[in-house]
Structures are given as structure tokens and as C-alpha cells.
Chain A
Amino acid sequence: MALEVNGKSYETDEEGYLADLNSWDADVANAMAEADGAPLEDNHWEVINFLREYYEEYQIAPAVRVLTKQIGKRLGKEKGNSKYLYELFPYGPAKQACKYAGLPKPTGCV
């Protein structure tokens, strides 16, 4: 499968995750979010950027519990809870945010 954004083609798997994380850019993240009916705002980007940094450092997408704890540490307790993260990413913070970040599905994802 492939996703077309601004004339550029991005290879994806059957669930819509990017096949090659190096092909990721902000345009494809925005296009995925718009297709899901909820355009990305700054709060979303904080989480997406965190996930990309985490992957860069540890070579994995963190499970939702790890994500929640790390977001709390880096962005403050008011953001490090599932209620906040599920409001931003109603399809599941780890799964949906990882998809927008161009990462594979999280290890031990819930």
C-alpha cells in the first residue's frame, strides 16, 4: 500500500504504518491525522516528537505505560496521564501517535 501526499508517495503496511521510518516527514503525519479527522496541533506534536526521539535513542517504540511516565517526566505531570493522552489520541496514544510519527507498532502495545 502507499499514501500519496503532495505528489510524494509513502510506502505503508496494511494498517497504515510507514514501511520506512526514514521516509517520514511532517507532511505525511499531517495527512494521516487529517484522514482520521483530527488535524495535529502543538500538543500532538510534543508527543510525536518525543516518540521519534525515544526511537532514535532506544530503537523501539515505547509501550503506553512507558510513554505516559516519560511524558510526565519531560512535559509535566498534567500531561503524563492516560486521560490527557487518550484525549489527544483517541485510538490509543501509543498506537496512533506512533503511526503519525512513522514508527513501527509499539513493542508490548496495548
Chain B
Amino acid sequence: MSEQAIIKKFMYVNRKSPYGTIYALESLEVVLITAAFDQDVSLVFTDDGVYQLMKNQNTEGIGMKNFSATYSALGDYEVKKVYIDKESLEERGLSLSDLQELVWEDEDEDYAEKSLINLVSRSELSEIMNNQDVVLSF
């Protein structure tokens, strides 16, 4: 038996708005756990899932924890691929400037900040999906 760790490509597809159901938070937790096990992790935000990354979320009125700040930790967990479905944004009258910026720090370049976010069309997305080992939908 080889001791070499198996690294698979895991893609997490987020399709629901952040609050009201537990899907968004559960997905984020599984993403971080998968990343902590050194897997190749990517995230997709599509349909109402694009709302998960909205700036300036305030959950005071609904008495839920505002976990939107946790997305900023993705880079620390070496997650470097976040795909935003362009059509889903447009259908909701949103653009990238409505979403929070996500970066990772490149240690080899004096901790230079690099963006995680890729704006992609649905046809590009389906191609990226085809290249995954595991696709999980939330």
C-alpha cells in the first residue's frame, strides 16, 4: 500500500440563498473540512446561491449568525477557485461589485493578495464541472 495521500477534485455547488435553510452554512463547513484534508476544492455560486456572497449582510433581524465573514477565510484554507455563474448574477440584477472580494495570499510573493473569484458563463461552468472527481450540490 502506498502512503501517498489521495487528492481528489471536489466541487461544491451552492444554489440557495444564505439564510432560511441551513444549506449554505453546511456547505461552507464541509468545504473547510475538505480543504483541511488537503483536497483540491472549488466552489460554484449559482441560482440564488450568488446571494451568499453579497456584501454588507446583516442578520440581526432574523436572529441568525452572520457567517458571511467566513468566506474570507477560504484563501487561508488554500481554496483558490470560486466560480460565479454570470447569468445567475444578471438575472438578479447583480454584478460582481455587489459581492464581497475573496483573496488568497501568495506566500512565495511576499503574501501578495490574489483574487479567488472567476466570473463564468453556464457553458464554461459545465465544462469545469465535467473535469471534477466529485460534485456536491447544496
**8 A Cβ contacts from B92-123 to A:** 105, 107, 111
Q: Which residues of A contact B67 (CB under 8 A)?
A: 59
- Return the CB mask of A50-83 against B: 1 if under 8 Å, else 0: 0000000111101111100110010000000000
A110 at the interface (CB under 8 A from B): yes
Considering the chains assembled together, what is the distance between the CA atoms of A108 and B35 in angstroms? 8
User: Quick check: A59 and B76 within 8 Å, CB to CB?
Assistant: no
B58 at the interface (CB under 8 A from A): no
- Return the CB mask of A97-110 against B: 1 if under 8 Å, else 0: 00000000001111
Interface contacts (Cβ under 8 Å), in number, total 47
**8 A Cβ contacts from B22-42 to A:** 29, 32-37
User: Quick check: A58 and B70 within 8 Å, CB to CB?
Assistant: yes
Chain B: interface secondary structure? helix
* B78 CB, min distance to chain A CBs, angstroms: 8
Q: Which residues of A contact B107 (CB under 8 A)?
A: 69, 73
User: Quick check: A60 and B111 within 8 Å, CB to CB?
Assistant: no
Q: Of residues B76, B107, B111, which shows the largest number of chain A Cβ atoms within 10 Å of its Cβ? A: B76
Considering the chains assembled together, what is the distance between the CA atoms of A108 and B77 in angstroms? 10
B69 at the interface (CB under 8 A from A): yes
Q: Which residues of A contact B111 (CB under 8 A)?
A: 73
User: Quick check: A65 and B70 within 8 Å, CB to CB?
Assistant: no
* A47 CB, min distance to chain B CBs, angstroms: 16
Contact of A63 among B32, B65, B66, B105 (CB under 8 A): B32
Chain A residues with CB under 8 Å of chain B are 57-60, 62-66, 69-70, 73, 107-110
List, sorted by A's number, 16 A–B pairs whose CB atoms are closer than 8 Å. Answer: A59-B65, A59-B67, A59-B69, A59-B70, A60-B32, A60-B70, A60-B73, A64-B36, A66-B36, A66-B76, A66-B77, A73-B107, A108-B34, A108-B35, A108-B37, A109-B36
Chain B residues with CB under 8 Å of chain A are 29, 32-37, 65-67, 69-70, 72-73, 76-77, 105, 107, 111
Top-6 shortest CB links A-B: A108-B36, A108-B33, A63-B36, A58-B73, A66-B76, A107-B32
